[in-house]
Amino acid sequence: MAAARVPRTLLGPACLAGAFALLPLGYLAVRALERGPGFAWSVVTTGGTAQLLGRSLALACAVVAACLVLGISLAWLTVRTTLPGARAWSVIATLPLAVPSYVAAFAWLSAVPDLSGFAGSALALTLVSYPYVYLPVAAALRGIDPAQEETSRSLGSGPVRTFFRVVLPQLRPAAAGGGLLVALYVLSDFGAVSLMRYDTFTRGIYTSYQASFDRTPAAALSVVLVVMTIGLVALETRTRGRRGHARTGTGTARPAVLVPLGRLTLPALSWCGAVAAAAVVFPLATLAYWLVTGNRSTWDPAGLLSTAGVTLGVAAAGAALTTVLSLPVGVLAARHRGRTAELIEQAAYAGHALPGITVALAMVFFAVRYATPVYQELPLLVCAYAVLFLPVAVAATRAAVLQAPPVLEDIARSLGRSPLRVLSSVTVPLAAPGIAAGAALTFVICMKELPATLLLRPTGMDTLATRLWTETGVGSYADAAPYAAALILLAAVPSYLLGRQRL
């Protein structure tokens, strides 16, 4: 596909979104260089930075690998096979997204106290983040034209060979995008690794804030994370390749014929069941245990209800802004590959591996100086969500647009539609399921965001995540359980809608 000249109507908003996402980097530059580049350099080069980086990367690699296996296998089973209760499984498979990493880690630790370090962190993080792979891959599987597979089969390839030679390559953009998000999630995670006592780079940054109250070393270390992120994004861009995977024939693709599992039904069911048990049932059971054994039954349903309402509101606003910002970037990345698109996409990702506290402080820094009226007001919090989670929506948009046949856009253009009209009347509608999946994903992630919410929320406002933090802070797990449960139940709604969506 020839990269058409980038239309200005797309480039402008995309640059805006990119610049927005770069705000934390501007802050980091100011803080890291506060005491001169020499000091920043000495912070980065001493104190076992390389070792911490190695530990972070090792954890990220392990978690990404595990997430790819879990995410792709579950997506294939739920979308393409005769798995009994496939629809229910596809809902359940997305639920772990709602479990904050520290709740998962806490649940595992309370059940298996000896679990800690690398293994414990990898387990907890895999179980909460594999839906990042599952969701885009499942959406991609639904969008793939089965004709290619049928052709492959008719040419004599078996089902396994067809899967690896025809299906898997088409899933690569979705899987790579998901894998990248998992890697960045792992790099920025603090909750799980601190409970599991596994020393990572982000944990180093957090302790730097907590231990020395000095923002310069933390900022210098954060810059290293940014560099690493850009490297990962570049790597992913390479893996993804330049190919698009859209069907070019006439007519509409018909739904794929489901692969009969036959004797493999039971093993497939056990696999799904085992993942669901570990990732969903187990944390919920832990919550139930907290509720039952806690002798303080002081939780108030009215407070829970209003907190849930607030959480839904800010998460919806966050998801809306993030999705709107992601559209131009995602379309650009999918349709107009080139230096400009690459730079903008990298900008969108740059801050994603940063710890939430760093992004939150960056927002404090800018808002206090240049946007005082919105400081500690809702709009700023919503903007922070967009900065934090833009890549999640971009990845979804890009993968979805890649699957829409560009020839339709060319036809619309040749019929005299303007680029913007083509975008709104052809590209976006075709990519709608994928974009909606990205929006839902962002929505769920916004709901459980903690560090930025704590620092930027309007005074007195509470989300389910901040209540959870407050209650566990005084060790009253019984009081925390309803909030955690509400978080998971609310997240089940978008998951349910996504799981039901069969186009």
Partner 1 sequence: MRNPLRRYPSVLILTVLLLSLGTACGIGGDAGLVIYSGRNEGLVKPLLKKLEKAVGTDVEVRYGSSAELAAQILEEGGKSKADLFLSQDAGALGALAKEGRLEKLPQTSLGKVPAKFRGSGGDWVGLSGRVRVLAYNPGQVPKAPDTVRDLVKPEWKDKVGYAPTNASFQAFVTGMRVLDGDEATRAWLKGMKANGVKAYKDNLAVLDAVNSGQVSIGLINHYYWYERVAEKGEGSVTAKLHYLPGGDPGALINVAGTGMLKGSEHRSAALKAVDYLLSKEAQTYFSDETKEYPLAAGVTGSVPGLPPLDSLKGPEIDLGKLDSLQQTLTMLREAGMV
Note the residues at the interface with partner 1 (CB under 8 A): 47-48, 109, 194-195, 197, 199, 207-215, 217, 295, 313-314, 316-317, 319-321, 323-324, 357, 361, 364-365, 368-369, 372-373, 375-379, 382, 424-425, 428-429, 432, 435-436, 451, 454-455, 458-460, 466, 470-471, 473-476, 479
Ranges of H-type helices in 371-450? 378-403, 406-414, 419-422, 428-448
Q: Considering the complex, state which of residue 162 and residue 307 has its C-beta at the smaller distance from partner 1.
A: 307
CB of residue 90 to partner 1, shortest distance in Å: 20
CB of residue 497 to partner 1, shortest distance in Å: 11
Q: Considering the complex, state which of residue 337 and residue 467 has its C-beta at the smaller distance from partner 1.
A: 467
Tell me how far apart the alpha carbons of residues 6 and 468 are, in angstroms, rounded to a whole number. 46
Q: Considering the complex, state which of residue 109 and residue 125 has its C-beta at the smaller distance from partner 1.
A: 109
CB of residue 502 to partner 1, shortest distance in Å: 15
Tokens at residue 491, please? 């997240």
Tokens at residue 177, please? 């995008």
The DSSP output letter for 298 is -
Q: Considering the complex, state which of residue 150 and residue 214 has its C-beta at the smaller distance from partner 1.
A: 214
CB of residue 97 to partner 1, shortest distance in Å: 20
Q: Considering the complex, state which of residue 25 and residue 455 has its C-beta at the smaller distance from partner 1.
A: 455
Instruction: Name the residue with tokens 């000495």.
Output: 42
**Helix (H/G/I), strand (E/B), else coil: 420:** helix
Q: What are phi and psi of 259, to 5 degrees?
A: -75, 125
- Which residues have a Cβ under 8 Å from the Cβ of 368 and sit 6 or more positions away? 375
Given 3-state DSSP classes, what are the helix, strand and coil percentages for the chain, each rounded to the nearest 5? 80, 0, 20
Q: Considering the complex, state which of residue 151 and residue 210 has its C-beta at the smaller distance from partner 1.
A: 210
Tokens at residue 383, please? 């903007």
Q: Are 479 and 296 in contact (CB under 8 A)?
A: yes
Q: Considering the complex, state which of residue 148 and residue 476 has its C-beta at the smaller distance from partner 1.
A: 476
Q: Considering the complex, state which of residue 73 and residue 116 has its C-beta at the smaller distance from partner 1.
A: 116
Tell me how far apart the alpha carbons of residues 499 and 260 are, in angstroms, rounded to a whole number. 20
Q: What are phi and psi of 247, to 5 degrees?
A: -80, 150
CB of residue 43 to partner 1, shortest distance in Å: 11
Determine whether 353 is exposed, middle or buried from the number of CB atoms within 10 Å of its CB (0-12, 13-18, 19+). Answer: buried
Instruction: Name the residue with tokens 């530059």.
Output: 29
CB of residue 134 to partner 1, shortest distance in Å: 22
Whose CA is closest to 473, among 489, 490, 450? 450
Q: Considering the complex, state which of residue 248 and residue 425 has its C-beta at the smaller distance from partner 1.
A: 425
Q: Alpha carbon of 371 to those of 360, 363, 364, 365: distances in Å?
A: 15, 10, 10, 10
- The rounded Cα 194 to chain-centroid distance in angstroms is 20
- The rounded Cα 443 to chain-centroid distance in angstroms is 10
Tokens at residue 273, please? 């069941």
Q: Considering the complex, state which of residue 215 and residue 398 has its C-beta at the smaller distance from partner 1.
A: 215
- Which residues have a Cβ under 8 Å from the Cβ of 276 and sit 6 or more positions away? 89, 92, 93
CB of residue 64 to partner 1, shortest distance in Å: 26
CB of residue 322 to partner 1, shortest distance in Å: 10
CB of residue 214 to partner 1, shortest distance in Å: 8
CB of residue 331 to partner 1, shortest distance in Å: 13
